[in-house]
Amino acid sequence: MTATPILSARGLVKFYGKTQVLHDVSIDVAEGEAHVVIGPNGAGKTTLFKAVSGEFPVDGGEIRLGADIVTRLAGWQRVRRGIGRSFQVARIFGEMTTIENLIVAVEARERRARGGFALTLRVNPRKSTMTEARHLLDGLGLGDQADRPAKLLSHGDKKRLELAMSLALRPRLIMLDEPTAGMSPGDRSNAAALIADTQRAHGLAFLLTEHDMGVVFGLAQRLTVLHHGAVIASGAPADVRDDPTVKEVYLGHG
Ligand SMILES: Nc1ncnc2c1ncn2[C@@H]1O[C@H](COP(=O)(O)OP(=O)(O)OP(=O)(O)O)[C@@H](O)[C@H]1O
């Protein structure tokens, strides 16, 4: 690869107690790339995400964001350097309306740029903040849900809101852990199209995990397969799909 990747993790090792869950895992995400990590249940995908986002320290290896080594930095410091993480369970504020959730995210970014942090809602958001929040909502097909309390949104719409909030923070890399989990097949393909559109429109890099193979092969520009906490294949989706080891341990059974 010629350009510096947005994310480069090298030789990651993680133990839970005495059990080793990540074995020398390396993964890169290039600028503007959608890189999908797949693997059977318990393969270590969520653990890899937590390691990259800084939820816990790794027991070995190195993580870089662009040229910066972030291995020893806390999660919030990595967010400041451009990681946007969205979780399997949406972290939205249920009592607030959809648009208020987005205003909080936009204001958090603005406050972050000024060096502050708290996630609070101003009584009178600035006009530019409102405009940006509306624009994001409309772009993600949530315009008609703007004034509903977020807790009343459908599961699929909560996922969209979660993605909108991730985008509002303007990260360099968005990490999505099973973004279509729990969705109906229709919602699933809509969500995949939304992610693909967002990626193209904003030139963002994505690191995703996903179980639905339609979504995986629809989105991935690069695919990495984890098995028992180790990378067994990584590369172009068509090459990975045809890899005999991958077929044997994973795709052949799915
Ligand atoms: N907090 C923990 N303490 C001990 N073991 C854990 C912990 N979290 C996960 N594990 C174990 O680590 C291994 C990897 O789990 P992980 O959740 O990363 O897998 P995954 O690939 O994300 O699975 P899934 O597809 O089911 O979400 C599993 O064997 C799991 O049981």
In angstroms, the CA 7 to CA 177 distance is 16
- Could you tell me if 209 and 242 lie in one domain? yes
Per-residue pLDDT band at 89 (split at 50, 70, 90): very low
Please indicate, yes or no, whether residues 72 and 183 belong to a single structural domain of this protein. Answer: yes
CA distance 205 to 27: 13
Q: How confident is the model at residue 117 (pLDDT cuts 50, 70, 90)?
A: low
Mean pLDDT of the chain: 86
Kindly indicate the confidence band of residue 2, based on its pLDDT and cuts at 50, 70 and 90. low
CA–CA dist 8, 238 (Å, integer): 22
Domain co-membership, 153 together with 197: no
pLDDT value, residue 98: 95
Q: Hey, how many other C-beta atoms are within 10 angstroms of the C-beta on 186?
A: 9
Q: Please indicate, yes or no, if residue 87 is contained in any of the structural domains.
A: no
Structural domain ending residue among the three candidates 146, 170, 194:
170
Domain span holding position 112: 92-170
Residue 156 sits in the same domain as residue 185: no
pLDDT at residue 121 in the model: 57
Say if residue 177 is in the same domain as residue 73: yes
Query: Is 150 part of a structural domain of the chain?
Result: yes
Q: What's the pLDDT at 115?
A: 61
Q: Is the CB of 25 under 6 A from ligand 1?
A: no
Ligand 1 centroid, distance to 159 Cα (angstroms): 22
Burial of 139 (0-12, 13-18, 19+ CB in 10 A): middle
Distance 156 CA to ligand 1 centre (A): 25
- Which pLDDT does position 122 carry in this prediction? 59
Query: Do 185 and 253 fall within a single domain?
Result: yes
Tell me the per-residue pLDDT of 159-168, one tens digit each, with 9 for 90 and over. Answer: 888 888 887 8
Tell me what pLDDT residue 138 has.
85
Q: Are 112 and 164 within one domain?
A: yes
76 & 193 share domain: yes
Q: Which of 132-141, 161-170, 191-200: highest mean pLDDT?
A: 132-141
Q: Largest Cα–Cα distance in the chain?
A: 59
Residue 26, domain member (yes or no):
yes
Q: Is 173 in the pocket of ligand 1 (CB under 6 A)?
A: no
User: Between residues 197 and 99, which one has the greater pLDDT?
Assistant: 99
Residue 48: the pLDDT is 96
Using CA atoms, how far residue 2 sits from 5, 31, 62, in Å, is 9, 11, 20
Instruction: Tell which one of 15, 20, 27, 46 to mutate to probe ligand 1, the residue whose CB is within 8 A of the most ligand atoms.
Output: 46
Asked if 42 and 55 sit in the same domain, the reply is: yes
Q: Decide: 2 in ligand 1 pocket, CB within 6 A.
A: no
pLDDT in the model for residue 113: 67
Q: Which of 170, 196, 215 is the last residue of a domain?
A: 170
Distances (CA, A) of 123 to 34, 104, 236, 250: 37, 11, 48, 51
What is the tens place of the pLDDT at every residue in 209-231?
A: 998 999 999 999 999 999 999 99
Q: What is the CATH number of the domain that holds 236?
A: 3.40.50.300
Counted domains in the chain: 2
Interval between CA 85 and ligand 1 midpoint (Å): 18
The domain boundary residue, chosen from 170, 199, 233? 170
Within a domain: 113: yes
Amino acid of residue 118: A
Question: Which pLDDT score, from 0 to 100, does residue 33 have?
Answer: 93
Q: Are residues 162 and 193 located together in one domain of the fold?
A: no
